[in-house]
Amino acid sequence: MGSGGPVTTLVDTGADAPASAPVTPVGPAHTARARRSAPSWAWLGLVPFAAYILLFLAVPTLLAIGSGFFTKDGSFTWTNVSALGDPVVLNTFANSAWISLLTAVVGAVVGALVCYALLGMNPQGAIRSSVDAAAGVLAQFGGVMLAFAFIAMMGIQGVLTVFLKDTFGINIYENGTWLYELPGLILPYIYFQIPLMVITFMPALAALKPQWAEANLTLGGTRTSFWLRIGLPVLAPSFLASLLLLFANSFSSYATAAALASQGSQIVPLQIRTALTSETVLGRENLAGALALGMIVVVGVVMALYSLIQRRATRWQS
């Protein structure tokens, strides 16, 4: 009896039939083919997620983009898109860009320093676990809750504002109500940018191999030369990718700004809100769709660059 050949079975089929009839071979290859040909229902688990993405991301995005190319009566026009070149709209995009870049840079630098401080701690220790958990929560702590927290702490009648004024005679609103204007968005944005940086950059920093530091010391290098010649060049793609992610996160934020800056449309999300509520801005209908198109283009370019850089960074993390 051979161990690798097909299995045959003797079947009694009557007097006129041969004494033995070969049956379909049964072996590993046949079993694998049968398993591949069997219908799989695993894809059904993706149906709820796909429906959610379709209804709340794909369809609204297409409607937002498409509405910018049509008038209120449904006829095609370039008038709404041409509004992106108006000085008022360009200034709104510039405001969103600089505040996003500023908060992204501050959040990236401070978050990277936090990651460096955590690098020497036990990953399973209490401090490291607490910081990781807090970063996961605070990175999503935005919107109206965050705005209320800053108003209660640093508003005109906030706890910190009253304390500084009554105790030290310092009036932080002597030059205007800055918290409710564009500069007031900087601190709330940084508040959730730093934890997001900790979440995204910590895996890259933890992926630095100890063998690299040992090889550097063996060749006569120092701690400074390790970071200048090995650590920083390796971490640069991950840092830049995280910086772009923070920029996109800040550029697309709406709820916190809407709750704080109740007056004016100084950034793109608030300008879109104004266009939706007033229906006509600068004499153009459906301007909100054109603004959304411009915003999607900016965020899309940033996220495409993030994907390319992150792909390069993963080569060192594997």
Residue 122: phi, psi to the nearest 5? -65, 125
The one-letter amino acid code at 109 reads: V
Rounded CA-CA distance 288/278 in Å is: 10
| pLDDT score of 284 | 61
**CB burial readout 106-141, b (16+ within 10 A) else e:** bbbeebbebbeebeeeeeeeeebeebbeebeebbee
pTM: 0.77
Identify the residue with better confidence: 167 or 73.
167
Hey, where are the domains in the chain? 45-317
pLDDT in tens, 23-35: 555 555 555 565 5
| Torsion sign across C-alpha atoms 169, 174, 180, 182 | negative
pLDDT in tens, 211-255: 888 888 888 888 888 888 888 888 888 899 899 999 999 998 888
Split at pLDDT 50, 70, 90, the class of 14 is: very low
Structure tokens belonging to residue 106:
């501050």
| pLDDT score of 7 | 45
Structure tokens belonging to residue 37:
């040909």
Identify the residue with better confidence: 160 or 85.
160
pLDDT in tens, 140-169: 887 888 999 999 998 888 899 999 999 998
Which has the minimum average pLDDT: 199-213, 277-291, 303-317? Answer: 277-291
Which has the minimum average pLDDT: 65-69, 123-127, 240-244? Answer: 65-69
CATH superfamily, domain 45-317, is MetI-like (1.10.3720.10)
